[in-house]
Structure 1
Amino acid sequence: MRYMLLFHYGEASEETIGPEQMAAGMRAFASYAATLEQAGVLVSGQVLQPSSASTTLTCADGEPRIQDGPFADTKEQLGGVIVIDVPDLDAALEWARQAPPASWGTVEIRPGAVHIEAGAWVPSS
């Protein structure tokens, strides 16, 4: 079963938390990704640029509306995602528990419904 681990946490920069803490966070993510890869459960992963680099698009009355910056005005932002393929929710929870953002933010675990593989929709089960 595919699960997406969505990492929500307060955004920080090297200027706000310091270069040592930023480097430690990057090492923690790299180590976590390597562990997932070695276990054979990593499907994909992505650490996102700050929400200030985002652009949102909505359509109202058939007209696109484009907005720069984050859509949600929240304390925590979506900072990255990892897709894993594991037998069940218990396994997904164990991997989420080990994710670095579990100690400084929130890890949302969401099962996949379908995914695209070789150009076709495939149920995630």
Structure 2
Amino acid sequence: MKNYLLSVYQPDGPTPGPEVLGPIMTTVAALKEEMRAAEAWVFDGGLFPPDTATVVRVTDGDVGMTDGPYVEGKEHLGGFTIVRAADLDAALEWGRKLAAATTLPIEVRPFQ
């Protein structure tokens, strides 16, 4: 079994209100329980908005830090789930389910 990162990309802007987010989070919680029951769930977490990020970069031996995300975009990494799956097809199935639950794009990537 390999571990796969399911990255959740969300649009920049304000968080949707509880009338939108509530039902989504209920569906995500049910999917998480399904993952646990299948012994696929390893770890997950949500992230604060990109403006809370600090980028640490080494240039010519000097370490510098800047506030905010390292790239400008219309989407940002909002959270992630790590699953254990037999192969890429199984991980993609979890990715499909997570995309349906969150209504957001999911990137599926294997760990080395």
Paired residue type of 2:4 = Y
Q: State the Cα distance separating 1:12 from its structure 2 match.
A: 4.5
- Does structure 1 conserve the Cα–Cα contact (< 8 Å) formed by 2:99 and 2:105? no
Identity of aligned residues (%): 32
What pairs with 1:38-117 in structure 2 (closer than 5 Å)? 38-100=37-99, 104-113=103-112
**Quick one: higher RCO (CA 8 Å, sep 6+), 1 or 2?**
2
8 Å contact kept, 2:25–2:102: no
Counterpart residue identity of residue 10, structure 2: Y
Distance 2:28 2:12 in 1: 15
Instruction: Please state how far the C-alpha of 1:34 moved relative to its aligned partner.
Output: 1.6
Equivalent residue letter for 1:63: D
Moved more, 98-107 or 77-86: 98-107
Distance between the aligned counterparts of 2:42 and 2:24, measured in 1? 21
CA distance in 1, matches of 2:108, 2:28: 17
Aligned length: 111
RMSD of aligned residue pairs (Cα, Å): 1.8
Aligned amino acid, residue 53 of structure 2 = S
Q: What are the superposed Cα offsets for residues 46-79 of structure 1, whole Å, 9 maximum, x if unpaired?
A: 1111111111111111111111111110111011
Inter-CA distance 13–28: structure 2 relative to 1 (3 Å threshold): farther
Which consecutive residues of structure 1, in runs of 5 or more, have no partner in the other structure? 114-125
d(CA) in 1 for partners of 2:46, 2:69: 16
Q: CA deviation at 1:2?
A: 1.1
SS in 2 for 1:98: helix
| Between 94-103 and 55-64, the greater mean CA deviation after superposition | 94-103
CA contact (8 A) 1:93 1:109 kept: yes
Shift of 1:102: 7.0
C-alpha deviation, 1:29, in angstroms: 2.4
Give the equivalent residue in structure 2 for 1:122: none
Conserved? CA contact 2:49–2:78, under 8 Å: yes
Q: Which residue of 1 aligns with 2:10?
A: 9
Q: What are the ranges of 5 or more consecutive residues in structure 2 without an aligned counterpart?
A: none
